Structures are given as C-alpha cells and as structure tokens.
Amino acid sequence: MSQAESPPPTPPESWTVRRVLEWTTGHLKKHGSDTARLDAEILLAHARGCQRIQLYTAYDEPLADSVRATMRDLVQRRAQAEPVAYLVGHREFFSLNFRVTRDVLIPRPDTETLVIEIIEGVKTLVAARTSSGQAAGTVRILDLCTGSGCVAIAVAKNCQMTKLNVNVIATDISPVALSIARENAAANKIDDRIEFFEGDLFAPLASAAKFDIIAGNPPYISSAEIDTLDAEVAKHEPRLALDGGPTGLSVFERLIAAAPQHAAPGALFLMEMSPEQAEPLQQMLTAHGGYSDVTVRKDLAGRPRIIKARITG
C-alpha cells in the first residue's frame, strides 16, 4: 500500500475493539458478573451490529462514536445486573432464537430437559400406537405458562423436523408474554402448529379439550425467596413468572387438581420444578389418586428437575 493509500494512523488512546473488551470485562467483573468477558463480547457485538466471531478479526479497529455511546449505555445497565438477554433482546434456547423482553422469563438451559422429555413422550406414544396397529395420528400437547413460548416452539419445531405430527396449545395469563410468544412462533416459522390462548392455567380451554401430554414450567419460587435471589432475577425478571405462592407449590396444587379433566386416556403430566420440590410433588401426586408411575427426571447438571406422571383419573 502506498503512503497516499494508508489509513490514517490510529491515535494510541483510541477505543479499539480490544481495548473496549478488556476495559468492559474488568468493569463488569468488579460489578459481580461471573461471565464478564462473555457479556462484554455479546454486548459489543450487539452495539456494532456484528456476530461475536467477527470481533476477533476486528481487534484493532476503533469504535465509531455512535457505537461507543450505545456500548456505554449497555455496560452501565449490565453493571446494574440487567440480564444480557434483555439488553440485546434475544436468547438462544434449544438451538433456536427467541425474542425476550422484561415481560417474559429468560429461557433457561434447565428447561431444555422439559423439551426433551416432551419429545420423548411424543415418540413413545407414536410407537405405542403404531405397534398396536393404530394410525400414528396427531399427538395433542398442552404447554401451560408458556411465557416466551420457548417450550411449545422448541417441541413443535423439533417434531416437525423429525416428522412427528403434533398439535400444540400454549397458554399464559400475561397478554404481553403471549404476544411475544406469538412473535417467536412466527419468527421460527412454526406458527401454523401452535395456538396461543390467554388466561389462568386451563381456564381459556374448551371444557372438552383433551391432551396426550400436559406440560409446563409454572412459577415455583416461594414468595419470600424471590427477594433473596440474584439481583439479575429478583430485580429484572417478571414476578408473575417466578412467584409460586407462600410455599412455591401453589400453582402446582391447582395444576395437579385440574389436569385430569383435560387428560386423554393415559396422558402424560410433565412439569419443571426446583430440585427440592421433588419429594413434596411426588407426595401430592400420589395422594391425589388420579396419577400413577410418578418419577423424577434430572436436568443436564444432574439435579432433579422434572416431575413426570401418568394421568389415570
């Protein structure tokens, strides 16, 4: 490159990608982030409108003033424990992209276990139907407390890819959460397989609606415990998505009582829970009398995470 074509020299004090990443990582660490470098990269990629991987080949590029201003705002908010997913407006779950706002819970890796269990339930039911000479038909799935729609959408999308025929109904009491769930279903091109209804648990469903799988990730934190959680959760995520009443089990109690009215014969009941709820939930399901084969499934970290039962009555 001739002298005339050389780019203007970068002033030594300029804020390059490298320098911003280093400074931000240190700053966020000081403010308590356990994932400071990752946060810095995600926020900077968002501010620059590029992929994270593209930062690595742009280390020595200075930031435009507008990008610096955006980054300054994002870093300030992150330092006050605002979750990265809300700052950038999306989160990956089950290899799909979901838009998230402060109106919906941020999808968690723990919840991927619920998706896996539902898909396993679909496969088992289809295999049982075909081995007894019936048509595979459509498996009817209910996702209660759908929030961003992550469970319903991940299940429907994966079943579509593996040619399992499912019909998914998803409900939530929050109209704003539902509008985000609908948007996510459309963005993931699966809105033709899912219907969304607004209301309290089973209330928005027709009384005759029956399902082969009744699943969900209901609010299950006890009201008193919420304020003791990390600020990221306690201060920023919707209380409606977390609060399971005085013992954390209030929504489960109502779900367990009402699910049999909407269960097809031999339907599966699959709910996410917190690990310490495994025992009380097993007792509640057994005491009810309308459930059998009560088991607990562990999440990818080996903690009890899903309560599973067959609905018999």
Ligand X SMILES: C[S@@+](CC[C@H](N)C(=O)[O-])C[C@H]1O[C@@H](n2cnc3c(N)ncnc32)[C@H](O)[C@@H]1O
Using CB under 6 A as the criterion, which residues of the chain lie in contact with ligand X when the complex forms? 104-105, 107, 111, 145-148, 150-151, 171-174, 177, 200-201, 217-219, 240-241
- Helix ranges restricted to H, the chain: 17-30, 36-48, 65-79, 84-88, 112-131, 150-161, 175-187, 223-226, 231-234, 239-242, 250-258, 278-288
Taking the least distance from each CB to ligand X, the nearer of 88 and 173 is 173
Smallest separation, CB 101 to ligand X (Å): 12
Smallest separation, CB 174 to ligand X (Å): 4
Taking the least distance from each CB to ligand X, the nearer of 63 and 145 is 145
Distance of alpha carbon 249 from alpha carbon 306, whole angstroms: 14
Helix (H) or strand (E) holding 99: strand 96-99
Q: Is 171 left (phi over 0), alpha (psi -120 to 50) or beta?
A: beta
Taking the least distance from each CB to ligand X, the nearer of 218 and 304 is 218
Beta bridge partners of 196: 170
Task: Please give the residue whose beta carbon sits closest to ligand X in the complex.
Answer: 147
Identify whether the C-beta of residue 124 lies closer than 8 Å to the C-beta of residue 164. Answer: no
Smallest separation, CB 207 to ligand X (Å): 17
Distance of alpha carbon 216 from alpha carbon 169, whole angstroms: 11
Taking the least distance from each CB to ligand X, the nearer of 148 and 158 is 148
> What angle, rounded to 10 degrees, do the helices at 175-187 and 150-161 form?
20
Taking the least distance from each CB to ligand X, the nearer of 58 and 226 is 226
217: Cβ contacts below 8 Å, ≥ 6 apart = 111, 114, 145, 147, 151, 271, 272
Smallest separation, CB 171 to ligand X (Å): 6
Smallest separation, CB 8 to ligand X (Å): 48
Smallest separation, CB 17 to ligand X (Å): 33
Distance of alpha carbon 18 from alpha carbon 60, whole angstroms: 6
Taking the least distance from each CB to ligand X, the nearer of 72 and 239 is 239
